[in-house]
Amino acid sequence: MSLDGGSALADLQYEVKSYFTDSNRFEFEKPVGSGSYGFGLLFNEKKQGGTNQRFVIKRAFHGQHYLMQESDILHKLEHADHIVNLVHLDPNPLEGNDLEEGILGPYIIMEYLENGTINDFTFRTRRVGVPNRVLAWIFLCLTRACIGMAYPPGVNPDGSRQEEVVDPSRKPSSLAHFDMHSSNLMFGSVDPSSREHNLMPILKLIDFGCSSERETPILPIQGVVNSYDIPLNLAQYRTQGDTSPGVQVNIKDIANVVILLAWQRIFASDPELRALIQNQASNPGLDPEMRLQMMRCIAADPENRPKLDDLVTRLQQVVNDRRTAGNNTPGSPESDAAMQRYVQRYVLNAPVNLDRRGG
């Protein structure tokens, strides 16, 4: 069935493209990376009124099961701001085809996130580092993504989306992402109307192909509790409130990402991360409150990891404190103006390695 003379992957790509032949409405831009089991194709939809919407169609190359699982999860989380959003095309050229028996098979249509991954950002900033205020923003966005997974938001009566907030009247879900790394976190756009994303673009979690409910409690390795949690007395910071094994997995995983970014590392094992975070001399400029939260998040005993409401409150405080200090200190690299220049240079304007990108 090779219509373009290429590989099986090229055949599949050709097949998807063949549904988007209305050149007045759609323009194919390029293939984009889309996780371990599939591929993505970037299109631009020219809408009436002159606006454009770019979107990615993701299809499984092998392992359709993962794509269907991911589609399921993205539908459950479709109102969460810090999770990649589904796009609903109207009309959708793929609809009405027999997806089970037809040649197309399952697919996901999602938004295109244009400003690259945390991995890209780590490379871009390797010479200049990441200011505490930026780290705190990123840590806060990642915490919001965890809240979105634990308490999937809905919509308000006026149709607006609910924020990702901890709802004490609900039990947190046990959904764990299980593939949280710097290439699965992507920057969207700056939103001048948003309190948390008016200077720094929102960060979103992508690629839920490995995600599942983690129901069984995490059993800590006692030797690590003895050598890490107990000497740091992490139990003293425990707060009341609900959590779940899935939340505890996610909290540790987001902290891994933030610690690696703070130390400008690409990879570190758990023992290395725990050694880094305890070695103050290795990163003396790191905000002490943020260091403490990172330390708690990677506790060996999951009960010593912070609850989501506690973590989000503490990180909001760090963001507020850094803003106040930055704006009140002449020449500070963390003033609003300095942050705007930093974000423009290292997030918004930076070249992105398109081959490694997800959608």
Residues forming contacts to Zn ion in the complex (CB under 5 A) are 141, 144, 196, 202
Choose between 57 and 190: whose C-beta lies nearer to Zn ion: 190
Alpha carbons 324 and 200: distance in angstroms, whole number = 16
Alpha helices, DSSP H, located in the chain: 8-17, 64-76, 118-124, 132-150, 222-224, 245-262, 270-278, 288-297, 308-328, 336-343
Tokens of 268: 């570190």
Choose between 148 and 302: whose C-beta lies nearer to Zn ion: 148
Choose between 39 and 137: whose C-beta lies nearer to Zn ion: 137
Q: Which residue has the tokens 């610690």?
A: 259
| Residue nearest to Zn ion as judged by C-beta position | 141
Smallest distance from the beta carbon of 59 to Zn ion, in angstroms? 29
Choose between 278 and 320: whose C-beta lies nearer to Zn ion: 320
Choose between 144 and 314: whose C-beta lies nearer to Zn ion: 144
Q: Which residue has the tokens 């760090």?
A: 318
Q: Measure CA 306 to chain center.
A: 19
Compute how many other C-beta atoms are within 10 angstroms of the C-beta atom of residue 339: 22
DSSP readout, 225-237? IIIIITTTTGGGG
Smallest distance from the beta carbon of 138 to Zn ion, in angstroms? 8
> For residue 72, what are the contacts with CB-CB under 8 A and spacing of at least 6?
none
Smallest distance from the beta carbon of 295 to Zn ion, in angstroms? 22
Smallest distance from the beta carbon of 70 to Zn ion, in angstroms? 22
Smallest distance from the beta carbon of 202 to Zn ion, in angstroms? 5
Tokens of 246: 């899935």
